[in-house]
């Protein structure tokens, strides 16, 4: 059975809580093999992390090449007895399909596979170009042995992607309300201020870092990083903790530090952003305050797929099936799209995200049918 509901059920019945695969990729491998895809299973490793299974499958050897990306791993079910239907049952009741991953994002993958099979059936078994699937088992946890390495592996084999649809649950209220076309970047750091420890009764012999770090926090928080851009809201630097590590009320502390996180838009790159903040810090310090920033490593760069023929085509397919004109949004948390965007334009469109990661995760069966039609519409328009 290769309709979206059957494939979703088969996937949900594999308890593939990261890093376990539990047979989930095998479900896809069998279906795609039978449909004539060249299927590769690739395992990636890294010291200190679990080995992860990934799948890459392609049919066709011509451009244009559209790839459907996704992940078969899921977050843990939580308290299983709190579920009204087993988290790995794939049960259908009152028009809903229940189970961990139904929405995020086994359902989305199942719809893309079902749509591609339908398209191939109606077009003599071969696309007028190429279709592939980039599926990982490492999205919900550390994301080290997944999409980022699978893309690199594919590129080294000479694979070239023209466009990507990532089937993450992008919709907020109803199917068709939102396409994600980008995300802000995320960069964390710690501000360190050096003082001189001393007795509170003899402050002239000490240098108190507390008023100094307060001034720096205000200076860095007050001046906006930008005023937003065409696709994004304004970047924001937010301090999240201040600490001097001092329990004594008669001691002036020797150091102070404050942690912060920046969510930034496409006015910046990671490098230009760090430079801007450090310049502002230097200005606020003058010759007097001794301070520095220690940046944390980040692989969450900002990206955006600008509106154009590809987003128009997706909007057209979504409108035709759902009657909704989707918003092109850059809000929300991170996904593997941040890695894919280095290789080709990527949009995210999948199911409605309301119950993802919750007890009783579920999707309306009707949404699985509609999403399959949307993906089919994307393929028809893409290869027209
Ligand atoms: Zn997801």
pLDDT in tens, 316-347: 999 999 999 999 999 887 889 999 999 999 99
Q: What is the pLDDT of residue 127?
A: 96
Q: Which two tokens stand for residue 187?
A: 């960069």
What is the DSSP track for 221-252? HHS-S----SSSPPPEEEEEEEE-----TTEE
Q: What does the alpha-carbon distance between residue 180 and residue 356 come to, in Å, rounded to a whole number?
A: 16
CA 361 / ligand 1 centre spacing (Å):
13
For residue range 346-363, what is the model confidence (pLDDT) as tens digits? 999 999 999 999 999 999
Question: 41-95 pLDDT, tens per residue?
Answer: 999 999 999 999 999 999 999 999 999 999 999 999 999 999 999 999 999 999 9
Residue 366, pLDDT score: 98
Which candidate in 29, 53, 139, 140 is catalytic?
Answer: 139
Q: Verify whether residue 51 is a known catalytic residue.
A: no
CB atoms within 10 A of CB 190: 15
In angstroms, the CA 352 to CA 188 distance is 30
Query: How far apart are alpha carbons 97 and 211 in whole angstroms?
Result: 57
Task: Report the separation in Å between the CA atom of 234 and the middle of ligand 1, taken as the mean of its atom positions.
Answer: 26
Contact present, 315 and 325 (Cβ < 8 Å):
yes
How many helices and strands (H and E) does the chain possess?
9, 19
Report how far ligand 1's centroid is from the alpha carbon of 101 (Å).
8
Which element (helix H / strand E) includes 303?
Answer: strand 303-304
Given a cut of 90, whether residue 1 has pLDDT beyond it is no
Cβ count near 36 (within 10 Å): 12
Question: Smallest Cα–Cα separation from 262: which of 338, 183, 186?
Answer: 186
- Which candidate, 300, 331, 8, 334, places its Cα nearest to that of 139? 334
Residue 174 confidence (pLDDT): 98
Residue 139 annotated to the active site: yes
**For helices 365-382 and 106-122, what crossing angle results, to 10°?**
50
CB burial of residue 34 (10 Å; 0-12, 13-18, 19+) = exposed
Taking the centre of ligand 1 as the mean of its atom positions, its distance from the CA of residue 140, in whole angstroms, is 7
Report which DSSP code applies to 359. T
Ligand 1 center to residue 155 CA distance, Å?
Answer: 23
- What domains, with CATH codes, occur in the chain? 4-183+302-382 (3.40.630.10), 185-295 (3.30.70.360)
Q: Which residues surround ligand 1, an ion (CB under 5 A)?
A: 104-105, 168
Q: What is the pTM assigned to this prediction?
A: 0.88
Distance 336 CA to ligand 1 centre (A): 8
Q: Which of 21, 29, 53, 73 is catalytic?
A: 73
Using the mean position of ligand 1's atoms as its centre, give its distance from the Cα of residue 99 in Å: 14
**pLDDT 10s digits, 92-149:** 999 999 999 999 999 999 999 999 999 999 999 999 999 999 999 999 988 899 999 9
**Distance between CA 232 and CA 230 in Å, rounded?**
6
What are the tens digits of pLDDT across the range 138-185?
Answer: 999 888 999 999 999 999 999 999 999 999 999 999 999 999 999 999
Q: Which two tokens stand for residue 63?
A: 């451009």
Q: What is the pLDDT of residue 48?
A: 93
Q: Distance, CA 167 to ligand 1 centroid (Å)?
A: 8
């Amino acid at each position: 059975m290769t309709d979206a509901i059957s494939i979703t059920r088969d996937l949900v019945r594999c308890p593939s809580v990261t890093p376990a695969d539990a047979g989930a990729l095998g479900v896809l491998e069998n279906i795609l093999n039978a449909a004539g895809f060249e299927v590769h299973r690739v395992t990636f490793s890294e010291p200190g992390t679990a080995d992860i299974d990934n799948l890459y499958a392609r049919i066709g050897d011509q451009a244009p090449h559209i790839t459907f990306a996704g992940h078969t791993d899921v977050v843990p079910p939580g308290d299983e007895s709190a579920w009204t239907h087993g988290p790995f049952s794939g049960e259908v009741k009152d028009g809903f399909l229940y189970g961990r991953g139904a929405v995020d994002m086994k359902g989305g993958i199942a719809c893309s596979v079902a749509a591609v099979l339908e398209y191939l059936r109606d077009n003599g078994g071969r696309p007028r170009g190429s279709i592939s699937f980039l599926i990982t088992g490492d999205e919900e946890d550390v994301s080290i042995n997944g999409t980022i390495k699978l893309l690199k592996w594919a590129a080294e084999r000479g694979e070239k992607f023209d466009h990507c649809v990532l089937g993450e649950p992008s919709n907020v209220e109803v199917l068709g309300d939102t396409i994600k076309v980008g995300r802000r970047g995320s960069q964390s750091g710690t501000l360190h201020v050096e003082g001189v420890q001393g007795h509170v009764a003899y402050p002239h012999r000490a240098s108190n870092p507390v008023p100094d770090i307060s001034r720096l926090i205000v200076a860095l928080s007050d001046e906006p990083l930008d005023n937003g851009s065409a696709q994004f809201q304004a970047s924001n630097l937010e301090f999240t903790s201040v600490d001097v590590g001092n329990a004594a009320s008669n001691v002036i502390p020797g150091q102070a530090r404050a942690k912060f996180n920046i969510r930034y838009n496409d006015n910046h790159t990671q490098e230009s952003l760090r430079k801007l903040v450090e310049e502002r810090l230097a200005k606020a310090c003058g010759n007097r305050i001794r301070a520095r920033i220690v940046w944390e490593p980040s692989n969450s760069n900002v990206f955006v797929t600008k509106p154009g023929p590809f987003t128009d085509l997706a909007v057209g397919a979504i409108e035709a099936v759902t009657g909704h004109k989707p918003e092109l949004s850059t809000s929300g948390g991170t996904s593997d799209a941040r890695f894919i965007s280095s290789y080709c334009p990527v949009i995210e469109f999948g199911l409605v995200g309301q119950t993802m990661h919750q007890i009783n995760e579920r999707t309306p069966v009707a949404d699985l049918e509609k999403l399959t039609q949307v993906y089919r519409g994307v393929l028809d328009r893409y290869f027209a």
